[in-house]
Structure 1
């Protein structure tokens, strides 16, 4: 009888130990998942602010080699520099240098707030705003929204970077 109680007690202890270990593992995974979700939400929120900031400059005139301190006119890279700087992200001042920061993003995985680059060598940059649209500045329209899936932009697409 004593032997049977020891075996039963041993099984109960093993079951309790396993239950405790599983409970601790599950508890540890929840904060990690929550942290990842919070980071994704923060990134999405920052992207929304960046897009809103950029849109607030709609139709601001384009000027080649625009002064970085001015918001009366922009060239493509000064527009990007200014919009991201207003949202706490300091980027280089040229599109070529901007194309080297952050991490590479395949075209199929673009998210709002990603930087998209055109031409080879790179000399145009835009903000991806979702649904195949980009926010940028060039020529007569000044700051504008274009369809990146338009044949012209598709033909000149080069790469994308995520800085958020």
Structure 2
């Protein structure tokens, strides 16, 4: 995906800042509402990149990148205290938009917002980042699927 296309993806995501979606797990096209992973799935899907529905499944996609090497469009994964038995299971996802910020959907206050990654809470709960956008417009998800399909022959 070219730089201008990544910026287009981010601008598309920002269009939802004025909306106030409620936390709901029904897919966006039917409900017109988001949770964090349906938001990332919808935004990337509109730009030709298929992501699974759930945070934990999205976390299995792409290649891990160091947080010092983040690029616009990288997915950021966080644990949610007390959601799972351990704090190493991702429970929240957002999109890195540059300059130490991310766009994501929170269940409370039930809206899409931009957040600073340098807050104590974000630093504490950050788990890892994944890059699912490649320069040649093929998502890593599609590459893995093609690879797996090849070996099933």
Normalising by structure 2, we get a TM-score of 0.75
Structure 2 residue aligned with 1:142: 111
Which of 35, 38, 47 is matched with 1:78 structurally? 38
Kept after mapping to 2: 8 A contact 1:51/1:113: yes
Work out the CA distance in 2 between the residues paired with 1:94 and 1:123.
9
Structure 1 residue aligned with 2:92: 124
- Where do 4+ consecutive residues of structure 1 move more than 3 Å? none
Which of 59, 67, 83 is matched with 1:99 structurally? 59
Normalising by structure 1, we get a TM-score of 0.71
* Structure 2: segments with no counterpart, 5+ residues: 80-87, 134-153
The Cα shift of 1:71 comes to 6.1
Ranked by relative contact order (alpha carbons within 8 Å, sequence separation 6 or more), the top structure is 2
Which of 6, 12, 16 is matched with 1:53 structurally? 12
Matched, 1:110 2:79: no
When the two chains are superposed, the root-mean-square deviation of aligned CA atoms in Å is 1.4
Q: In the TM superposition, what whole-angstrom CA distance separates every residue of 1:22-56 from its partner, at most 9, and x where no partner exists?
A: xxxxxxxxxxxxxxxxxxxx432221111011001
Work out the CA distance in 2 between the residues paired with 1:59 and 1:103.
31
Q: In the TM superposition, what whole-angstrom CA distance separates every residue of 1:102-151 from its partner, at most 9, and x where no partner exists?
A: 11110000010000000121010000000100000001151000001111
Kept after mapping to 2: 8 A contact 1:59/1:141: no
